[in-house]
Amino acid sequence: MTRFPLTRMARALMGFGLLASPLAAQTPDPASGAYIATTADCAACHTAKGGKPFAGGYAINSPMGVITSSNITPSKEFGIGSYTLEEFSDAVRKGIRRDGAHLYPAMPYPAYAHMSDADIAALYDYFMQDVAPVETAAPETDLPFPFSQRWAMIGWNALFAGGAPITSDPDQSEAWNRGRYLVQGPAHCGTCHTPRNLLMGSKTADLMAGGDVGAWYAPNLTPGKGGLSDWSDADLARYLKTGIATHGRASGPMAEAVEYSLQHLSDTDIDAMVTYLRSLPARDSDLSPAAGQATDAAFAPWEHSANRTGHRLAKDAGGAELYETACASCHGLSGDGSKDGTYPALKGNVTLENGQSANLVSTILHGVTRETEGKHTLMPGFGPDSLVQKLDDAQIARLASYASMTFGDTGQTVTADEVKTLRTGGPVAPLVRLAAPQIMIGVALVVLLVLVLLVVWLIRRRR
C-alpha cells in the first residue's frame, strides 16, 4: 500500500464520501483514519442531511422517542474535542460517554467493539486533526421515563454487547482474517444481516443468516438455502463494489452501504470480505412455504396489445395490467430487462425469490437510488408520494404477486395488509439507522425487566 499525501480538506471530504471518484482511482491506505471512518460509515449517522460533516443532529425515530446523534467534531464545547483517546475508545467500543453516561445502541458499538486498538487510535487522530470543528450543539436526546434511565443499558450490554477486538486466527489466510475483521467489526454487516432474538440482541450462532431491517430484509449471506451458494466470488465482489450482480442489485439500505462506504474500499478489502463470507457456516433461510395462486397469473401481457399509449388504469386493474402500464417500459413485457443491463431483468432476480417480498414491495414503494463512480442509478417509486404514478396498497399487492408468480421461481402472493405494514414501517431512513428502532424495542424490554426486578426486590426488602 502506498501512502498518498492528502490535504486536510481532502481527507475530511474523503471521510464524508464526497471525494469518491478522484480518490477511488488511487490505492487508499487502509490504516488511515479517513479510510477507517469510511469503512465504519460514521458519517451515515453523524452527518444530518444537508448538515456539516459529523456535526450530528440526525434524528433516529424509535418507538420510545427520538434519539439524536451527537456532534463528533473536535469542538471542545459541543463536540468531542475534550475526549482523550481512552474516552473516545470507550464511547465507540463500549457505548460509554465521556461523562460516564451510557449511549443507546442506536450507535452500533456492539460491532465496533471488535475494532483493533490501532484502528481506534487512527480514527481518533482523524477526528481530532482532520475533521473541522463545528461550534453548534446537536439537539439533546430526551426520551420519556423509564427510557431516560441510561444506566439501564448496563443490563442490555451485559447480555448483548461487550465483544473484544478480533484477534487473528493463525490457521487462516491473511485475506480471511482481514475479511472477518471488516465484516464483524467496522463494516458491521451483521447489524443488518444477522437475525435478532426477542430482546433484539444479535443471534451470534446464526451469523449473517438474514435479518429484518425496518421495511427491508437483509438476506442470508451464508452458503445455505436462500443464501449465496449460487453467486460466484467475482459476482459477490462486484455487488459490494458497485451494487450490481448477475441476479440482483443493491436497493434500499444496501444501496446506501455501497454508495457511502463499500464502493470506496480497496479491491483487496472487498476480496477479503468475499473470502471470509465464503467460509461462513451454512444456515438455511426460514422461508415461508410458497403461497397460493395469484388470481390473474394466467394473463400473459406479452400476448396482449403491446402499445397502450393513453391507456388509463382502472382502480381494480389486475396485476398483469398494472405491470404492463407501470413497469414494462423499463423491465420489458416478459421481464427480460434491457440488453445493456441498465434496467435489470426481473426473471431470475433474487428480489423475486421466496422470502424477499419485503424487498420487492419496498422497491416498488420507494424505487432505487444509488450513486457509484459518479453515475446515478434511478428507478422511480410508486408509493403515495410518487411523482410518476401513485399505486395504492391493493394495487401494489396485486402487482407484486403477479411479478413473483410470473418472473420468480416460487409463486408467492402479497396481501394489501402486508404492503400497508411495509409502507408504514417508518420512513426509509438511510443505512443502519433502520435497525435502530428495532434494537430499541429490545432495550425497552430489558429496561422494563430491570424495573420489575427492582420493584420485586424493594417489596421483599420491606417485608
Least Å from the CB of residue 378 to ligand HEC: 6
User: How would you classify the pairing of strands 211-213 and 65-68?
Assistant: unpaired
Comparison of 22 and 326: residue with beta carbon closer to ligand HEC? 326
The answer to whether the beta carbons of residues 317 and 327 sit under 8 Å apart is no
83's torsion region: left (phi>0), alpha (psi -120 to 50) or beta? beta
Comparison of 5 and 50: residue with beta carbon closer to ligand HEC? 50
Return the bridge partners of 62, or none: 65
Return the bridge partners of 221, or none: none
Backbone angles phi, psi at 298, to 5 degrees: -70, -20
Comparison of 23 and 361: residue with beta carbon closer to ligand HEC? 361
The answer to whether the beta carbons of residues 347 and 426 sit under 8 Å apart is no
The answer to whether the beta carbons of residues 338 and 330 sit under 8 Å apart is yes
**Residue 434, all three cell numbers:** 433502520
Least Å from the CB of residue 2 to ligand HEC: 24
Comparison of 330 and 452: residue with beta carbon closer to ligand HEC? 330
Distance CA 218, CA 210 (A): 5
Place of cell 399509449: 309
Return the bridge partners of 216, or none: 213
Least Å from the CB of residue 278 to ligand HEC: 11
Least Å from the CB of residue 338 to ligand HEC: 9
Least Å from the CB of residue 433 to ligand HEC: 5
Task: From 296, 301, 300, 428, select the one nearest 362 (Cα to Cα).
Answer: 428
Least Å from the CB of residue 453 to ligand HEC: 23
Q: First CA to last CA across the chain, in angstroms?
A: 69
Distance CA 343, CA 328 (A): 10
Comparison of 158 and 455: residue with beta carbon closer to ligand HEC? 158
Comparison of 145 and 462: residue with beta carbon closer to ligand HEC? 145
Least Å from the CB of residue 61 to ligand HEC: 11
Comparison of 19 and 408: residue with beta carbon closer to ligand HEC? 408
Comparison of 6 and 353: residue with beta carbon closer to ligand HEC? 353
Place of cell 449517522: 45
User: How would you classify the pairing of strands 211-213 and 216-218?
Assistant: antiparallel
Least Å from the CB of residue 462 to ligand HEC: 34
